[in-house]
Amino acid sequence: MRTEIDELRALIRYHEHKYYIENLSEISDADFDVLIKELEELEAATEAPIPPDSPTQRVGGGAALGTRLQHRTPMLSLNNSYDENELREFDERVRRLLEDAPVEYVTELKIDGLGVSLIYENGVFTQGVTRGDGEYGEEITDNLRTIRSIPLRLVETKTAVPPMLEIRGEVFLPKGCLDEINVQREEEGELPFANPRNAAAGSLRLLDASITAARPLDIFVYTLNYAEGTELTTHTESLENMKAWGLKCNPYTAHHQSIEDVQNYYKRWVEERHKLPYETDGIVVKVDNFSQQHELGTTSKYPRWAVAYKFNAQQAITTVKKIDVQVGRTGALTPVAILKPVTLAGATITNATLHNEQEIQTKDIRIGDRIVLERAGDVIPKVVEVLTTDRTGDEVIFEFPKRCPACDTPVQRIEKEVAVRCVNVACVAQLKRRIAHYASRNSLQIEGLGPATIDQLVDKELVRDVADLYTLEVDPLSKLDRMGILSARNLVHQIERSKAAPAEKLLFGLGIFHVGETVAELLIERFLSLDALGRASLKEIESVNGIGPQIAESVFNFFGHNQPLLDKLRAAGLHCFTVEAVSKRTEASIATDSFFRGKTFVVTGSLEGMTRGEASNEIKSRGGRVTSSVTNKTDYLIAGEGAGSKYTKAVELDIPILESADFFQKLQQHPQ
C-alpha cells in the first residue's frame, strides 16, 4: 500500500518533471515549496530511513568529491568540422566505409557545457562522474543531485527502466546566469569564470553542494551508453526511451536522409542559436543506426560515426585605450580594458574585464595593443588574443597598482586567491559598492540612488555605512550635484519606503559572502527574523536544508562581527526587525485551505456574541477583505439580526448570504 509519504513523493516528482523538464508549471513556486516542507515534516516524524531518491534529498550540504572512477567505456571527444566541405568529407567517408549502404543522420545541438556520466541502478540515480580525461573521471554525485532536471528516480513507462543504465549528457549554465555569478565571485576575491562551460565545471567541483544548488545548472542528456538487457537499434530510439524515463533531452533534435539536409539544419541554427536560452557551439551529426555505428567504430579519440560541425565565434578587432582598476565590494581589484568602441554580435563594446593581474601577464596585454575580442552569446566579451604583429613599439606595459586606487592603502595578495585586495575596511570604493548593492533592485530597491549620488554621499561623508542612508534629509541632499529638491524628496521617500522591505531582502542586501537571494530566502524561511538568525548557532544554521558548511560559516561570522551595524539598522526603524516574516508554509496553508482567502465580504446586522469590528478582524486574519457596501464584487454578505438594505441588495445581485451560524461555522472550520 502506498503511504502518504509515497504519494507526496510521487506528487513532487511529477511537479519537478513538469517544471524542470517540460518547462510547464501546474502549481506556484510557493505551493511547490509547501509540498517539500510537508514531506520534510512527514519524513522527520517517521522512524523509517529516508531513501536517497526522496525529493528532499537533493542538497545534503557537503559534497564527497575526488574519487577517480573509470568509465565503463571511454567518454570520447568529437572530431570537428568547420565548413561545408569538411562536413561533406565526413559524409563521404561514412558512406565509403559502409560500402554505400543507405545512411540516416541524427543532428543535435552541441551544448557548450561539461560532459558527465550518470548511473541509474534500478531506476535510482546512484552515481555521477565528470568526463575527466575520457578514461577516468571524478565522482561528483552529490553536486549533480542538486540539479533539478536530473531525476533522482526514473519513471516506469511502457518501456521498463533497465536495472542498470549509464547515460551521458551535458551540464550547462543557462545564458545570462554567468554575469551574476562572476560579479559575486569577483566581489569575493575569486577568479571569474571565463565562460559558462568553466562555470558549470567549477560549480560541479565545489565542496559544498549547497553552493552548487544555488547555481541554476541544467542538463541535456544525449547518449544512452549502456542499458542492461535492452536491444535498441537506433540512436533515435534511445533518445525516445530516455525521454520516456523522465530524462531531459534537447527538443531540437532532427532526423535526416542526406547531408544536404544536415547542412540546412546547420544554417537554421547559425541564425537561430542566439535565441536559445543556453550556449551552443555547433551541431553534432550522428549516424542513427547502432549497427552502422558499430561497423564504423572509433579512433582512439573520436567515433567515426559522429562529427561536430562548429559555429564561428563572433569576433572583432579593436584597440586598448587604457586599463582601469576597479575595487569591488570586498576590496578585490579588477582590471578593466577600456576599448575603442566596436560593434560585436549586435552590441557596442566599450570595455572588457581582464579579470586579474595574471590574465594580463599571460596574454601580455599592453595599453595601445590591437586585440581580438570575442563574444559568445550574451557572455561578457573577452580578449582572446593580442595582435602582436601589429605592435608599433609605442605600446605600454601595464603596471598593476601596489596601492588601492581608491584609498591608497597598500594592496595585499591573499594566499590561495588570485585576486589582489584592498584590505582597508574603511575603503571608500568598497563602501560605495556595498551601498550600490544594498540599494539594488533585488535588495532594498532604493530607486534614485545611482552611482553618481552614492559617490557624492560617500565623498562628502554624509554616509559612512548603509544605515546612515536612513539619516539623510531633503535639504542637504538637494544641494548635491544634479539633485534638485524634487529628486531629493523622492530619494528620501524611497529610502523611507525601503524600511518596509522583507527580512530576506535586507539579508541579501547586506552583501554577506555566499548569501545570494535563494540562500537569504532559505534562511529567513527557517529563522523568520534577522535577530533569530543572529542568535542561531553555527550548527543550527548548517542544519537548514540547502545550507552547507561554507555558507553557514560565512553567515555565522557576519553576525559575529557586525552587531553594531545591525543595531543601527534596527534603530533606524527597519520593519523586519520588529515584524516576523511569515513562513511560506503558513502563508500558503491559508492560501490553499482557507475559505476566506482573497474573498470580499460585507458584514451587516448584529452577530451573536461578536461586534462587526471583531468579525472583520476574524475575516482579515484569514486573508479575506471586508468592504462596507454590497456591489457585484462582493463574494458573501454576512447577515446578522436586523439586516436591512444591504440584505435586500445582496438578494437583488444574487450574492450568497451567510447567516450568523453559517459564519461562525466557517470561522471554526478555517482557523487562522
- Any idea which residues carry the catalytic annotation? 110
Site string for ligand IVH, 268-307 (x = CB under 6 A): ----------------x------------------x--x-
What one-letter code names the amino acid at 193?
F
Out of 108, 187, 542, 618, the only residue in the binding site for ligand IVH (CB under 6 A) is: 108
Out of 76, 276, 538, 572, the only residue in the binding site for ligand IVH (CB under 6 A) is: 76
Chain centroid to CA 111: 18
Angstrom distances, CA of residue 663 to CA of 95, 103, 503, 598: 80, 74, 35, 16
Q: Please state, in angstroms and rounded to a whole number, the distance separating the CA atoms of residues 377 and 344.
A: 10
Minimum CB separation of residue 273 from ligand IVH in Å reads 13
Out of 34, 173, 204, 308, the only residue in the binding site for ligand IVH (CB under 6 A) is: 308
Minimum CB separation of residue 126 from ligand IVH in Å reads 21
Task: Tell me which stretch binds ligand IVH (CB under 6 A): 74-82, 199-207, 309-317, 439-447.
Answer: 74-82
Minimum CB separation of residue 442 from ligand IVH in Å reads 32
Total count of residues recorded for the chain: 672
Out of 63, 111, 552, 607, the only residue in the binding site for ligand IVH (CB under 6 A) is: 111
Which of residues 36 and 306 has its CB atom nearest to ligand IVH in the complex? 306
E strand segments, 354-500? 366-367, 370-375, 382-386, 396-397, 412-413, 420-421
Q: For 19, which DSSP code?
A: I
Task: Tell me which stretch binds ligand IVH (CB under 6 A): 107-115, 526-534, 590-598, 660-668.
Answer: 107-115
Out of 55, 61, 115, 335, the only residue in the binding site for ligand IVH (CB under 6 A) is: 115
Minimum CB separation of residue 133 from ligand IVH in Å reads 12
Task: Tell me which stretch binds ligand IVH (CB under 6 A): 108-116, 485-493, 526-534, 652-660.
Answer: 108-116
CA-based max dimension of the chain: 98
Task: Tell me which stretch binds ligand IVH (CB under 6 A): 73-81, 454-462, 475-483, 627-635.
Answer: 73-81
Minimum CB separation of residue 359 from ligand IVH in Å reads 25
- Tell me the backbone φ, ψ of residue 564, rounded to 5 degrees: -60, -40
Residue 624 sits at the vertex; the CA angle it makes with 623 and 626, to the nearest 5 degrees, is: 140
Task: Tell me which stretch binds ligand IVH (CB under 6 A): 70-78, 479-487, 557-565, 598-606.
Answer: 70-78
Angstrom distances, CA of residue 459 to CA of 436, 448, 663: 14, 18, 62
Minimum CB separation of residue 87 from ligand IVH in Å reads 16
Which of residues 77 and 471 has its CB atom nearest to ligand IVH in the complex? 77
Ramachandran category for residue 642: left, alpha or beta (phi over 0 → left; psi -120 to 50 → alpha): left
- Tell me the backbone φ, ψ of residue 342, rounded to 5 degrees: -145, 145
Q: Please state, in angstroms and rounded to a whole number, the distance separating the CA atoms of residues 13 and 11.
A: 5
Task: Tell me which stretch binds ligand IVH (CB under 6 A): 72-80, 84-92, 148-156, 425-433.
Answer: 72-80
> Looking up cell 461555522, which residue turns up?
665
Out of 5, 78, 588, 603, the only residue in the binding site for ligand IVH (CB under 6 A) is: 78
Which of residues 306 and 603 has its CB atom nearest to ligand IVH in the complex? 306
Computed on alpha carbons and rounded to an integer, the radius of gyration of the chain in Å comes to 30
Residue 509 contacts residue 170 (beta carbons within 8 Å):
no
Q: Please state, in angstroms and rounded to a whole number, the distance separating the CA atoms of residues 467 and 565.
A: 7
- HEC sequence for 145-182: HCCCCCCCECCCCCCCCCCEEEEEEEEECCCCHHHHHH
Under rule CB under 6 A, residue 170 binds ligand IVH: yes
Which of residues 310 and 505 has its CB atom nearest to ligand IVH in the complex? 310
Task: Tell me which stretch binds ligand IVH (CB under 6 A): 75-83, 193-201, 323-331, 338-346.
Answer: 75-83
Which of residues 284 and 360 has its CB atom nearest to ligand IVH in the complex? 284
Under rule CB under 6 A, residue 313 binds ligand IVH: no
> Looking up cell 542568535, which residue turns up?
535
Q: Please state, in angstroms and rounded to a whole number, the distance separating the CA atoms of residues 162 and 52.
A: 19
Out of 125, 222, 309, 664, the only residue in the binding site for ligand IVH (CB under 6 A) is: 222
Task: Tell me which stretch binds ligand IVH (CB under 6 A): 103-111, 178-186, 193-201, 471-479.
Answer: 103-111
Minimum CB separation of residue 519 from ligand IVH in Å reads 30
Residue 517 contacts residue 575 (beta carbons within 8 Å):
no
Which of residues 21 and 422 has its CB atom nearest to ligand IVH in the complex? 21
Q: Please state, in angstroms and rounded to a whole number, the distance separating the CA atoms of residues 333 and 338.
A: 16
Neighbours of 352 (CB within 10 A): 22
Out of 81, 143, 223, 498, the only residue in the binding site for ligand IVH (CB under 6 A) is: 223
Which of residues 306 and 536 has its CB atom nearest to ligand IVH in the complex? 306
Q: Please state, in angstroms and rounded to a whole number, the distance separating the CA atoms of residues 562 and 505.
A: 17
Which of residues 284 and 638 has its CB atom nearest to ligand IVH in the complex? 284
Under rule CB under 6 A, residue 357 binds ligand IVH: no
Residue 139 contacts residue 65 (beta carbons within 8 Å):
yes
Neighbours of 290 (CB within 10 A): 16
Tell me the residue number closest to ligand IVH, measured at CB: 115
Which of residues 304 and 570 has its CB atom nearest to ligand IVH in the complex? 304
Burial 394-419 (b: 16+ CB within 10 A, else e): ebeebeebeebebbebebeeeeeebb
Minimum CB separation of residue 199 from ligand IVH in Å reads 15
Minimum CB separation of residue 281 from ligand IVH in Å reads 8
Minimum CB separation of residue 172 from ligand IVH in Å reads 9
Which of residues 241 and 330 has its CB atom nearest to ligand IVH in the complex? 241
For β-strands 657-659 and 636-639, DSSP reports them as: parallel
Which of residues 196 and 624 has its CB atom nearest to ligand IVH in the complex? 196
Q: Please state, in angstroms and rounded to a whole number, the distance separating the CA atoms of residues 42 and 640.
A: 42
Neighbours of 222 (CB within 10 A): 25
Out of 15, 110, 153, 185, the only residue in the binding site for ligand IVH (CB under 6 A) is: 110
Minimum CB separation of residue 668 from ligand IVH in Å reads 59
Residue 380 contacts residue 352 (beta carbons within 8 Å):
yes
Which of residues 8 and 201 has its CB atom nearest to ligand IVH in the complex? 201
CA torsion through residues 545, 551, 553, 558, sign: negative
Count of residues that bind ligand IVH according to CB under 6 A: 15
Task: Tell me which stretch binds ligand IVH (CB under 6 A): 104-112, 240-248, 412-420, 475-483.
Answer: 104-112
Residue 653 sits at the vertex; the CA angle it makes with 650 and 659, to the nearest 5 degrees, is: 25
Minimum CB separation of residue 253 from ligand IVH in Å reads 8
For β-strands 600-604 and 636-639, DSSP reports them as: parallel
Angstrom distances, CA of residue 481 to CA of 448, 484, 636: 13, 8, 56
Q: Which residues bind ligand IVH (CB under 6 A)?
A: 76-78, 108, 110-111, 115, 131, 170, 222-223, 284, 303, 306, 308
